[in-house]
Structure 1
Amino acid sequence: MSLDPILFMGGSGAIGHQTARALRAAYPDVPLLIGGRDLAKAQRTAEEIGGAQGVVIDSRAQDLGLGERQVSAVVIFYMDHALAGLRYAQKCRVPHLSISSGVFEIAPEIATYMHTPQASPIVLGYEWMAGATTVATLRIARAFSRVQDISLHALVDEQDTGGPTVATDFEHLNKMLPAALTRRDGVYVWREGEDARVSFHAVDGTPIQASGFSSIDVVGLGAATGAPNVQFNMATGVSSTRRQGRPKSTEIIIELSGEDLVGKPLRTRHAVVHPAGAAPLTGLSVAMTLERLLGLDGQPPTPPGLYFPYQLLDADAYLARLEKEGGELRKL
């Protein structure tokens, strides 16, 4: 199918590269625009990726400085506080996917969507790794008739920094959200202080000290499963693979409890693992979300609406692609 270029705003970073790589693996001819404030950097990135063009983004202009150039989708890899990319996507009536905002920053995007809900499909891609956690959790939840507790624990290797943009985004999130949004006994609360400090076991069994994190996974999974207790915790340290003398990896521990399909107590523990770290896992999620938005997978393109990534991603197809990349959903 003929496709206008997909605009990557802030696409010069690691996640932009990995998203392009994942897209190209399945659809080699998809054209890309790598947008940024520095034209030379955007052009260098475009040359490295291939089949791409670097462009300067002017967030103050209604057309982002792109003039009459047509795009098929807009992807934001940084916190777009001005919502320039969202307004542009709605103006062009193309899909919009943003992955960096915090749960406390979704009100402007929702308000913009509500004003013209028929314009575009808008994806709130702020789930951990843009859907890797929620997709896997909902796949595991198929074994339950009722989910009571969901505990998610992300271990980010201290060598897996993700670049300056990611570091800046996390500094902003930690400053604005010292408390962690949590669902407890069916009520949304904010954990802080000692209440936000937890311990979990990594894939290799090592105890890890972590803190609560306000991921939108909490509200998404609470709504999708009805679980009265949902929490998300994050730690930075040494990943299980690096403790074994191998390169860094990223790992997400998923613990569920409730009742199985015949009403008996059930408790499960799994891990999503990617051997190359956080950026490739996030890139895979973004690429597959774009595939579904644009209908590259052979199905009709996604209609206008407001979506979480897990509502668009097919769990079985996602896990198959993850395995092809060397990652896995591992039962512990």
Structure 2
Amino acid sequence: MSKGNRTRAEPVLLIGGAGEVGRWAARFFRESNPDVPILIGGRDERRAGLAAAAVRGASSVVVDLASSDLGLGELKVSAVATLFTDEMGGALRWAQQRRAGHISISPGISELGVEAAAFMHQPSAAPVVLGTEWLVGATSVPSLLFAREFAHLEEIRIEAVLDEQDVFGPAANADLERQIYAGATALMRSDGVWRWCSGNDTSSEVRAVDGTKMDANVFSPNDVLLLSNATGAPNVRFDLAMGISSSRRAGGAVSTEIIINLAGRDQAGRPLIKRHAIVHPGGQMPLTGLGVALVLERLAGLAGDKPEPGLYFPSQIIDHSTYLDRLRGAGGEVLELEPIPHGPLGSDQPRAGAEQ
């Protein structure tokens, strides 16, 4: 897209953009789109103004989620990101009225009905992105890229390590607590069967990048749905550990870790196990912000054609061919680890939902 077209682009709107994810998303979006206006929306005018002042070419708007027009009148935007839990669903409805693509990163896997119903009511309005993949594409996109080496995938296991000292804004902390603890259930796929596990069945274990075993729990961001359907793997699970990250255990700073374990057969039909890690020394927020920025670029038509109206996951919107370069440019690392030889995916733990 030419620079002239970028200059005439309508603004992108980040509702809740004064939070940690919003600040990173605005930063990464601005780096790649220097001439596109950015609006930081929030309920607190002063806080939104301070966040906007930190981004060149950004301005702030006050958002009233109880108002049918969000208090924004006839404002035109090219794409909208909602970065906290919008319990009224007003931001998505407003985006649909404006024919603007929308991404929300807060609803858990058991809460998709609100967004799905809004899309079904206006299926031709605009793209609706179900953004609650783990760190908005940082897990799913690399997993799909690494899966290309396989002719058949039998099992995908994601091991995520979230450092207990990682930066959490109030909204992000509330979202994580709700998703992990509300109902204490998690979705996984085992031998081709979808299972909701709860109680003791959610207890598991992960190995961090440095090999340390950590207590974990089965968790179910949208990645389990996306990866199961995209690859056909009959066994897909996501385990989340909260504690000390490998970098901090070595005396360094907080980091976030995503370990991607794949098992199946290669193109020649031979057994194959691969283990990769995505690591960011800044913790979870930079990768989340990068994913939001990349989705906004697509929704606004700044990175290829705008997607047709539809219901999408972030990894269906983000350009896979450039993702790892963008991730590295944002400070992330891609590591190839030695597979752990015990069990299908290097785990001695029984599968959740399986008989003990």
Q: TM-score range by the shorter chain?
A: over 0.9
Q: Does the aligned pair in 1 maintain the 2:85–2:171 contact within 8 Å?
A: no
Quote the offset at 1:314 in angstroms: 2.1
Question: 1:3-14 residue pairs with structure 2 within 5 A?
Answer: 3-14=9-20
Matched, 1:325 2:330: yes
Select 1:124's aligned residue among 122, 130, 134: 130
Aligned-pair identity (%): 49
Matched, 1:60 2:66: yes
Quote the offset at 1:171 in angstroms: 2.0
Matched, 1:184 2:190: yes
Deviations 1:164-192 (A, max 9, x none): 11111122223324011010111110122
Paired letter, 1:30: V
2:135 counterpart SS class:
helix
Counterpart in the other structure of 1:90: 96
Counterpart in the other structure of 1:208: 214
Length, aligned pairs only: 331
TM-score, normalization by structure 2:
0.91
Paired letter, 1:201: R
Quote the offset at 1:204 in angstroms: 0.8
Matched, 1:26 2:32: yes
Deviations 1:242-295 (A, max 9, x none): 111111111001111011111111111111111111110011111111112222
Q: Which structure is higher in helix share?
A: 1
Deviations 1:201-235 (A, max 9, x none): 11111111101112111111111011111001111
Paired letter, 2:70: L
Quote the offset at 1:11 in angstroms: 0.7
Distance in 2, matches of 1:177 and 1:144, equals 36
Distance in 1, matches of 2:75 and 2:96, equals 15
Structure 1 residue runs without a partner (length 5+):
none
2:54 counterpart SS class:
helix
Distance in 1, matches of 2:18 and 2:162, equals 22
Distance in 1, matches of 2:301 and 2:249, equals 41
More divergent stretch after superposition (314-323 vs 93-102) = 314-323
1:215 counterpart SS class:
coil
Paired letter, 1:247: A
Counterpart in the other structure of 1:301: 306
Deviations 1:147-180 (A, max 9, x none): 1111111101111132111111122223324011
Q: Does the aligned pair in 2 maintain the 1:149–1:230 contact within 8 Å?
A: yes
Question: 1:1-332 residue pairs with structure 2 within 5 A?
Answer: 1=5, 2-297=8-303, 299-332=304-337
Quote the offset at 1:130 in angstroms: 0.8
2:204 counterpart SS class:
strand
Distance in 1, matches of 2:208 and 2:177, equals 24
Distance in 1, matches of 2:201 and 2:68, equals 45
Distance in 2, matches of 1:28 and 1:119, equals 28
Quote the offset at 1:321 in angstroms: 0.9
Paired letter, 1:246: G
TM-score, normalization by structure 1:
0.97
Counterpart in the other structure of 2:343: none
Paired letter, 1:324: G
Quote the offset at 1:57 in angstroms: 0.8
Distance in 1, matches of 2:297 and 2:38, equals 14
Q: Does the aligned pair in 1 maintain the 2:206–2:241 contact within 8 Å?
A: no
Distance in 2, matches of 1:263 and 1:241, equals 37
Structure 2 residue runs without a partner (length 5+):
338-356
